[in-house]
Amino acid sequence: MKYMLIMRATDEAYARFADVDFNEILETMGRFNDELIRAGVLVAAEGLDDAANGVVVEYGDEEPVVSDGPYGETKELFGGFYILEVPSIDDAVAWAKRMPAGPGMKTEIRRVPSIDEFPQDNPWIQKERAWREATGQL
């Protein structure tokens, strides 16, 4: 099963990282990423750019509204993610506990359903399956 580990942090946690040498951060995260790779559980991992450089598209009864970042409370934003292929949520939790993180940081874990869990007779699912097969994702 696939699980997404969504990393979040408070303003204070982000501020603490501003004082840490970037090479030290890369070294620490690199060692953790290497563990995931050697264990054969890493599917994908990405950090995200500063929310100040992003936008939000908000949907309502009218046309969608686009707002420049920063937006919302920092604790509502996520700064990066991992997708792991592990047997259970307990395994995903065990990896999250090993992640190099500190006070003011947290990781949300959500299962990523497989395309096989959707109705296979649905034409949209069939089109997506064909696309995934054509692009080597299945």
pLDDT tens profile 50-74: 888 888 888 999 999 888 876 666 6
Mean pLDDT on 120-133? 95
Q: In the predicted model, is pLDDT for residue 79 greater than 80?
A: yes
CA distance 68 to 39: 39
> Do residues 95 and 36 make contact, with C-beta atoms less than 8 angstroms apart?
yes
Q: In the predicted model, is pLDDT for residue 9 greater than 90?
A: no
> Do residues 58 and 65 make contact, with C-beta atoms less than 8 angstroms apart?
yes
pLDDT in the model for residue 71: 64
Q: Sketch the domain layout of the chain as residue ranges.
A: 2-54+67-134
pLDDT in the model for residue 51: 80
pLDDT in the model for residue 54: 85
What type of residue sits at position 20? V
CATH architecture of 2-54+67-134: 2-Layer Sandwich (3.30)
What type of residue sits at position 85? E
Please state, for a pLDDT cut of 90, what percent of the chain lies above it: 58
CA distance 126 to 115: 10
pLDDT range class, residue 78, cuts 50, 70, 90: confident
Mean pLDDT on 38-47? 94
Mean pLDDT on 6-23? 84
